Amino acid sequence: METLIDGRVVRCATGGRGMDGDEPAVALVHGAGADRTVWQLQTRWIAHHGFRAAAVDLPGHGGSEGPALSSIEEMGAWLANATESLGLAPAHLVGHSMGTFVVLEAAAQRPEVARSLVLLGTAGAMPVHPALQSAADADDPVAGRLITSWGIGSRAHTGGHASPGMWLIGGNTSLLDRAPRGVLAGDLAACNAYDGAEAAAARVQCPVTLVLGREDKMTPNRAAAPMIEAFGDGRATTVYLDRVGHFLQIESPIPVRKAIAAALARA
């Protein structure tokens, strides 16, 4: 689906249904260098189980018109505006990796747009290794290969994609390779520079669920502890998935779907 937000084309995946209606909405936000397709194993289920689904391409990503935004704060403000423009607010906001920072910022800046947050593969900070940033700055394909090899858990390295015939490593690498020039580098720099996660978490007013892979090397489980503490009052529920790395919704789609469903039910 394509629409216009602030005069620019925005593309989103709706799981085979339109976004009209009065069902609660779920907005899903991808990570660095990615696009809406990372949610293809979740959006259809969400859209056919009592919710409206909208997996959005951030500006400059996938089918959305650029330019890409250069900071997490800008992305969060854009998302808050997008949920209203699309008639989704208040929405359940689901993010992966960089997308967790984006939904966190949206909920902190504009509490009225968020029913709940679901954060997949998150941490209180996301520092980027200089070698990875340098490769991305040079638009060197090795950047996508490093992210994929390092980010995927041990089980997924041997196959077992939920869609028969699909190769997770090759698919994820191709996804990052097709990002427009400079987008992955800009996203990584935005993640590295963002130091507002704990402050934003303290301002969030809605229920929160974190879904973390036990084998995540990019956002290790221990790195989420400061964020969990910042939410306070036991408002954050944490779900851990065994033998899963950073790309949880692709590596382990059914347990992730169940975790999202449970989070939506709690909210």
CATH classification (class only), 2-126+194-266: alpha beta
Ordered by start, the domain boundaries in the chain are 2-126+194-266
**For position 267, what pLDDT does the model report?**
81
**For position 235, what pLDDT does the model report?**
83
Nearest-angstrom CA–CA distance, 200 and 134: 29
Return the sign of the alpha-carbon dihedral for residues 266, 24, 28, 200. Answer: negative
Paired sense of beta strands 114-120 and 91-96, if any: parallel
Place of tokens 């085979």: 16
**For position 162, what pLDDT does the model report?**
65
**For position 203, what pLDDT does the model report?**
96
Q: Which of the residues in the chain have pLDDT under 70?
A: 157, 159-167
Cis amide prior to 90 (ω within 30 degrees): yes
Exposed/middle/buried for residue 159 (C-beta within 10 Å: 0-12, 13-18, 19+): exposed
**For position 156, what pLDDT does the model report?**
72
**For position 167, what pLDDT does the model report?**
66
**For position 163, what pLDDT does the model report?**
64
Ramachandran category for residue 151: left, alpha or beta (phi over 0 → left; psi -120 to 50 → alpha): alpha
